Amino acid sequence: MNIRITGMGSYIPDIVEKNEDFHNHEFLNIDGSAIDYPNEVIVEKFKAITGIDERRYAKSHLTSSDLGFFAAERAIEDAKIDPEELDYIIVAHNFGDVKANAIQSDILPCLASRIKHSLRIKNPSCVAYDILFGCPGWIEGLIQAQAFIKAGMAKKCLVIGTETLSRVVDKHDRDSMIYSDGAGAAIVEASDEEGGIIDHETASFTYDEAYYLYFGNSNKQDLCRDTRYIKMHGRKIYEFALNNVPKAMKMCLDRSGIDISEVKKILIHQANEKMDEAIIKRFYRLYKADMPEDIMPMSIHKLGNSSVATVPTLFDLILKNKMGDHELTKGDVIIFASVGAGMHINAIVYKY
């Protein structure tokens, strides 16, 4: 029995926020002091490091569960299944539903229950639950879906990654330019076709690294001290990712029995262009091989970092022929990989 992704769908919001839209922001240092150089320079340096030109924000009346519902509908349609046949709906996110201009997250009921409700699924045996696993959440959802199917507890699962990070950023923090909104979804099911999930690896580093990403106060000191925003220790995350993600990917690939020369694409979490390139180069260095030029499709330039949504939206864009020359053919080997808050790392070797 093979376990394959049989349908993909994504939702990319309509609102485009360009880099020049940040020229009038009041960016401050963490202690509230003014930054010594103008915003044009800040934005230019940001672009050079992250590769981001623009990002997408959800319309004010939409929440994360709405975006996840839209992506789920498209995945179900793509797989040509009856949603009543679903055994599990697994939704990866980090902040629940945060309404525009609100300061409180809403996860009662969980987002999976909301999406199941929106899909109008009547079957109570379709179990809907959320997973909080940082940016690697969607990949971890695939791993859990595979486990349910392997154990005979499920035949069809819906795995969604959805986020509206624009609602939890500190507008006075330069890192706020990284984050965006979006959703991606996959139907995972048992199949007689060759391929699917070949192997996977997951690790959680918490002894020293647990709080590299955290909720903290605004850089603007006179704002409410009880309101929290997404914050990160960027340098520590960069070094952590470079040291650990390539090793996890190698462990996964080695167990799969597939040679690195057979890998066609690596779909890595769209966190930061320079960091992602450094991770993949170091991965190939572990095999004493050069990184192929077209191995790493990147959507971050136009879509930003939408956390759990980056990998499934990237995969869907490739399958829908919306990523330029990047394409997949039957039998191609790809690697999904991610790193994020927790600090968690995971990877999947997948034969398309």
Q: 101 vs 11, which has greater pLDDT?
A: 11
pLDDT tens digits, 65-82: 999 999 999 999 999 999
pLDDT per residue as tens digits for the range 16-32: 999 999 998 899 889 88
Question: Rounded to two decimals, what is the model's pTM?
Answer: 0.95
Is 212:237 a contact under the CB 8 Å cutoff? yes
For residue 222, pLDDT over 90 is answered with no
Question: Residue 89 has what DSSP assignment?
Answer: E
In the numeric block, the tokens 């968690």 are attached to 344
Tokens read off for 240: 């952590």
165 backbone dihedrals φ, ψ, rounded to 5°: -65, -20
The superfamily (CATH) of domain 198-351 is Thiolase/Chalcone synthase (3.40.47.10)
Query: Would you kindly state where each structural domain of the chain is located, as residue ranges?
Result: 2-194, 198-351
- Mean pLDDT, rounded, for 160-185: 96
Class of domain 2-194 as given by CATH: alpha beta
Q: How far apart are CA 52 and CA 300, in angstroms?
A: 6
